[in-house]
Amino acid sequence: MRARIAIAGTMLVLAGTAVAAPAVAQRVRAPRPSGRGSGGRETNPADARTLVRARVTAVDVATGRIEMAAEGVTLGASFPPAVVAEVKPGDVVFVTVSVIDTRVATVTGSIAAVDQAKGTATVTTPGGPLTLTPSGTALGAMKPGDEVLLKLGLVDVGPPA
């Protein structure tokens, strides 16, 4: 089984106080196959999230890329501008690292438009544009040109009325 690693967030520690809170270490539940979607759920060992302590080795404000050294490995990822603005080389951070099962259905895309008044974001995908209604927090962090990965999951909404 192949798995993809995603760096989900960081927490900067300055003088023993946390600046931004990450998700706590947890197991992520994946849907169990059923006749019509994800009626039942079971734990998938390939889907897991953990907290890793790292030291920032490089910050590129222009691209949003942060390089970190953690437990004998170098981790690098692009982060939102608000995160990049708070971090500098030498800082100790805690990073939520998620192992994502590659069998999860995903679609790549990019943010084409954000309409704050309507609370929508339009994502350009290989199959065409898709307009979504994300949470206000998520919508506020989106801007046209952002590359995104859409995670698809079938949901059992019950029998037709």
Q: Divide the 161 residues of the chain into consecutive groups of 10 and give the mean pLDDT of each group.
A: 47 39 34 43 61 94 93 89 91 87 84 96 95 92 90 84 79
The string of DSSP codes covering the chain is --EEEEEEEEEEEETTEESSPPPPSEEEEEEEEETTEEEEEEEEEEEEEEEEEEEEEEEETTTTEEEEEETTEEEEEE--HHHHHH--TT-EEEEEEEEEETTSEEEEEEEEEEETTTTEEEEEETTEEEEE---HHHHHH--TT-EEEEEE------S--
Count CA atoms closer than 13 A to 135's CA, side-chain side.
2
Q: What is the pLDDT of residue 1?
A: 40
CA–CA separation, 72 and 38 (whole Å): 38
